[in-house]
Amino acid sequence: MGVFARIFGTLLERVLVRIPVSVIETVSETSRRDLLGARAKIVVVPNGIDVSEYGIGEVSVKPHQAIFIGRLVFYKNLEIVFRALAKVIQVVPDAKLIVVGDGPMRAVWEKMVDDLGVRRHVRFYGRIPQGRKLSLLEESVSGLAQHG
């Protein structure tokens, strides 16, 4: 990610946390601490998965497949994952990365994947229904657990 994007993103965040709202929700204590200067109460609401939605039907396990589910925004730092994948495939040639979600960094990261030469190892799904997310997550986690 470019220096401009990092600086602009940080400045934008600092402006946004000063907007008068009653509560700001974030997903971790770390991000709560990062929201310095917020005028509102900050509440941590951890990410979670409703495990009762699992176990419906058979899932084919995909060995050496990892998954990212989330907004494609600069502070997720997926460029680190893509660079790591370029090294991982030297050792695990069939390694795959599934990217589920959309956001302002999608085009940038798709170009990066092409530039790194790992396009055949990465699949960008965009926004998909919850049931499909759960299937992809289960096949990725099961595959890593069984072959990891």
Q: Which long-range contacts (CB under 8 A, 24 or more apart) does 107-116 make?
A: 108/1, 109/72, 109/78, 109/79, 109/82, 112/79, 112/82, 113/82, 116/82, 116/83, 116/85, 116/86
Query: What's the pLDDT at 35?
Result: 75
3-state secondary structure of 72: coil
Query: What's the pLDDT at 125?
Result: 95
Query: What's the pLDDT at 117?
Result: 96
Residue 21, pLDDT > 90, answer: no
3-state secondary structure of 146: helix
Residue 31: inside a domain, yes or no? yes
pLDDT band per the 50, 70, 90 thresholds, residue 41: confident
CATH number for the domain that contains residue 76: 3.40.50.2000
Residue 52: inside a domain, yes or no? no
Q: How far is CA 96 from the centre of its chain?
A: 15
Residue 57, pLDDT > 70, answer: no
What is the spatial distance between Cα 51 and Cα 45, in angstroms, rounded to a whole number? 17
Residue 92: inside a domain, yes or no? yes
124: number of Cβ within 10 Å: 18
* Residues 108-144 pLDDT 10s: 999 999 999 999 999 999 999 888 888 888 777 654 4
What is the spatial distance between Cα 110 and Cα 105, in angstroms, rounded to a whole number? 8
Q: Does 133 lie in the same domain as 63?
A: yes
Strand partners, 65: 96
Q: Does 63 lie in the same domain as 37?
A: no
Query: What's the pLDDT at 143?
Result: 47
Q: Does 87 lie in the same domain as 124?
A: yes
Number of domains in the chain: 2
Q: Does 135 lie in the same domain as 81?
A: yes
Q: Does 34 lie in the same domain as 64?
A: no
Which has more confidence, 21 or 92?
Answer: 92
Q: Does 80 lie in the same domain as 27?
A: no
Do residues 61 and 144 lie in contact, with contact meaning Cβ atoms separated by under 8 Å? no
pLDDT band per the 50, 70, 90 thresholds, residue 54: low
Which has more confidence, 18 or 125?
Answer: 125
Domain limits for position 10: 3-44
Residue 127: inside a domain, yes or no? yes
Count H helices, E strands: the chain? 5, 5
Q: Does 126 lie in the same domain as 64?
A: yes
Q: Which of 8-17, 98-107, 110-119 has the lowest mean pLDDT?
A: 8-17
